[in-house]
Amino acid sequence: MSAVPTAATPAGGQPTKHGRRVIVASLVLSIIATPLVTVFLGPILPPGNSSLQAHGQVFDNTVLTATITPLICLLVVFFVYTLTQFRATPGAALVDGPPLRNHAGVQVWWVVLTTVTVLFLAGFGTYEMLVDGAGGGQGPSPVAVPAGVHQMLQVQVIGQQWNWTYRYPSYGGVETQELFLPEHTWVRLDVTSLDVIHSFWAYKLGVKADANPGVDNVAYVQTRGPMSFDLRCAELCGLWHGYMYQTGHVVPQSQFASWIRQQQQLDKPVAHYLPKYARVYYPDPQRRAG
């Protein structure tokens, strides 16, 4: 005897009424939730808006969050609907419903929607990495180079166990123990290491670039207003890795000019001991022994 199809399970065992309810409810919820997520959640997503690159990453995270919101809405509606409509009553026999198998429509829509979503995110992410040099840490010959690269302030970031030091080649290669950057300025960061692999991470600036021995790893950042920001090593680099952090500063142009002059004066007595400025360094290991 063949089963009699119902409104919920027509011939072939394919659900219609419940499926339509879930889809309609999830679409309505998505139409409401997605703008709310974009408008209210987007602006407070990390890493903030302290640089052009950080602002771009906030925009990227907002787009990604808005893209995933309809899927989250579908899952929430599906679970709530299932728990409320198919909840077993006390004493009732537990009987599984008809299985959903070989539904061509569901399979086609699933493949199309997921393919379009993945391709969109891949294209969007690639463009965003290239548009403003935010895809930093691209090695010595970056693919994404912002306009006016030759007029940028160049700062070399040198990692070593377990500290960061900085050199300013346009100011005679002066070396400092702190990172100061002028406000509203494009900066080229040349990141390298003297010993092991480190990773230079200025979270609020939206900058993260590996510091590899013998490699000049270039990243770009455009500062905004005055602020202080944390600097950390994001690559396990030895016993005191957790203590390899500092505080950097973005300051007004006049304050930066005064600070760099002060650093040059402090460096004068030891300037002749400093190695000549280079993009990478290969120190004599014997001189670094204990």
Residue-by-residue pLDDT tens, the chain, 290 positions: 444 444 444 444 445 788 888 889 999 999 999 999 999 998 899 898 899 889 988 998 999 899 999 989 999 999 999 888 887 777 777 776 666 677 787 788 889 988 998 999 888 888 887 777 666 667 888 887 887 778 899 999 999 999 999 999 999 899 999 999 999 999 999 999 998 999 999 999 999 999 999 999 999 999 999 999 999 999 999 999 999 999 999 999 999 999 999 999 998 888 888 888 999 987 665 455 44
Q: What's the chain's length in residues?
A: 290
Whether the full predicted model's pTM is greater than 0.85, yes or no, is: no
pLDDT of residue 200: 95
* Contact criterion met (CB below 8 Å) for 220 and 191: no
236-255: b (≥16 Cβ within 10 Å) or e: ebeeebeebebebebbeeee
- Output the six-digit token pair for 101: 């198998």
Distance CA 190, CA 213 (A): 12
Distance CA 188, CA 219 (A): 6
- Output the six-digit token pair for 279: 């993009």
Distance CA 164, CA 170 (A): 19
* Contact criterion met (CB below 8 Å) for 226 and 192: no
Answer whether CATH 3.50.50.60 is correct for domain 150-281: no
pLDDT of residue 3: 45
pLDDT of residue 133: 64
The SS3 of residue 230 is strand
- Beta-carbon contacts of 256 under 8 Å, excluding residues fewer than 6 positions away, are 180, 181, 182, 183
Q: What is the Cα Rg of the chain in Å? A: 28
The SS3 of residue 163 is strand
pLDDT of residue 2: 43
Residue with tokens 């089963």: 3
DSSP calls for 191-215: EEESSS-EEEEEGGGTEEEEE-BT-
For the chain, the domains span 15-86+119-135, 150-281
Distance CA 279, CA 270 (A): 20
Extended beta strands in the chain, E state: 153-160, 163-168, 174-176, 180-182, 186-193, 198-202, 207-211, 217-222, 227-233, 245-251
